[in-house]
Homo-oligomer: A and B are copies of this chain.
Amino acid sequence: MNIHSQTEEPMTAAPPLHLTHAQSMDQRSAEILEGVRRAFAEKGFDGASMQDLARSCGMSVGNFYRYFPSKAAIVAALILRDLAEMEATFREILRSPDPLSGLRATINARIMQGDCEGEGQLWAEITAAALRKAEISAITTHMEHEIIGYLTSIFAKAKNLTEADARERYYPQAMLLVMLVKASAMHPAENPRAQQRLTDLLLHTVARTIDDVANDDLKG
């Protein structure tokens, strides 16, 4: 979400934050998103009230509502920020000489990092909410389509196919990779040895899935 759009608020409402530099704006929006992330993780998507969420960012409820008129708007902001980060990574992979290896390394790093930042918890909340609320579902579906789009672009480059052909051909592989990363992030921490063995098998499954694309002979 473009947090800067807050300056486009109606004239009657004073802009809530007088931040002149884009940098401090980014800093503040990162703090706000971190606050709501924490509040959702503590109380759950439905358990966290708009008041809880406002408080987690050190804002008044009225002010908070001007940034985020609904929880759906918050989820959209969180997701658009994650997408922007991912886009940078995917663009780098697409520029590399061996995009499938780059993709594998990126997914492996994501799986190995586990849920150290509470991402999995937040994802579990959003996944549950999306199955229940059409407006959240629309946002998560958009995110998933974007990620699938990046993945199939990488497959297109690796296999010398058009994006449309790659998407048509490798949609299931792309979706399975998304599912494996999500399932791994949402999996509660285990003892280190069990965790390591499960991680190894997940990486093996990711490798096989990407190898299926690499080894696909494009016939049939």
- Complex contact A188–B130 (CB within 8 A): yes
Chain B hits for A194, CB < 8 A: 171-172, 175
Docked complex Cα distance between A172 and B194 (Å): 7
Instruction: Name the residue on B nearest A173 (C-beta).
Output: B201
Residues A44 and B132 in contact, CB atoms below 8 Å apart: yes
Which residues of B have CB within 8 Å of A186? Answer: 127, 131
Query: A interface, how many residues as a size bin?
Result: 35 or more
The answer to whether A188 and B131 touch (CB under 8 A), given A197-B172, A201-B173, is: yes
Of the listed stretches A4-12, A99-107, A150-158, A176-184, name the one at the interface; the rest are far from the partner chain.
A176-184
> Does A117 touch B at the CB level, under 8 Å?
no
Measured CA separation A125–B128 after assembly (Å): 5
Q: Which of A19-27, A58-66, A77-85, A202-210 contacts B (4 or more CB under 8 A)?
A: A202-210
From the candidates B41, B183, B200, name the one contacting A179 in the complex (CB within 8 A).
B183
Least CB distance from A48 to B in Å reads 8
Task: Check B183 against A171 for contact (C-beta < 8 Å).
Answer: no
Residues of chain B contacted by A129 (CB below 8 angstroms): 44
Identity of the chain B residue whose Cβ is nearest the Cβ of A131 in the assembled complex: B121
**Interface presence of A217 (CB below 8 A):** no
Q: Which residues in B have their C-beta under 8 angstroms from that of A188?
A: 130-131, 137, 140-141
Q: Can you list 28 A-B contacts with CB-CB less than 8 angstroms, sorted by A residue number?
A: A41-B131, A41-B132, A44-B44, A44-B46, A44-B128, A44-B132, A46-B48, A120-B131, A124-B127, A124-B131, A125-B128, A130-B188, A131-B186, A137-B188, A140-B188, A171-B197, A171-B198, A172-B194, A172-B200, A172-B201, A175-B201, A176-B198, A176-B202, A179-B183, A179-B184, A179-B187, A183-B183, A208-B208
